[in-house]
Copies of this chain bind each other. A is one copy, B any other.
Amino acid sequence: MDVLSYVLQLLLTVELSCKSEYALLALVELAVKHDAGEPLQIREIAANQNIPDRYLEQLLATLRRGGLLRSQRGAKGGYLLARDPWKITLLEIVSCIEGWDSGSMTENSTPKTVETAVVREVWQEARQASESVWQKYTLQDLCERRNAKRQLDIMYYI
Residues of chain A whose beta carbon lies under 8 Å from any beta carbon of chain B? 5, 8-9, 11-12, 14-16, 21, 24-25, 28-29, 48-50, 90, 98, 100, 103, 105-106, 108-109, 112-123, 125-127, 129-134, 137, 142, 145-146, 149-150, 153
Contact = CB atoms under 8 A, between A and B. Distances in A.
Given A11-B108, A100-B14, A108-B12, A118 B145 contact: yes
* Count of this chain's copies in the oligomeric assembly: 2
Contacts of A14: 98, 100, 105-106, 127
A132 B132 CA distance: 13
A65 to B, nearest CB: 20
A114 B25 CA distance: 10
Contact of A113 (B11, B49, B98, B105): B49
30 contacts: A8-B108, A8-B109, A11-B108, A12-B105, A14-B105, A15-B15, A15-B130, A16-B127, A21-B116, A21-B119, A25-B113, A28-B118, A28-B119, A29-B115, A50-B112, A50-B113, A114-B146, A114-B153, A115-B146, A117-B149, A118-B149, A119-B142, A122-B134, A122-B137, A125-B133, A126-B131, A126-B133, A129-B129, A129-B130, A129-B133
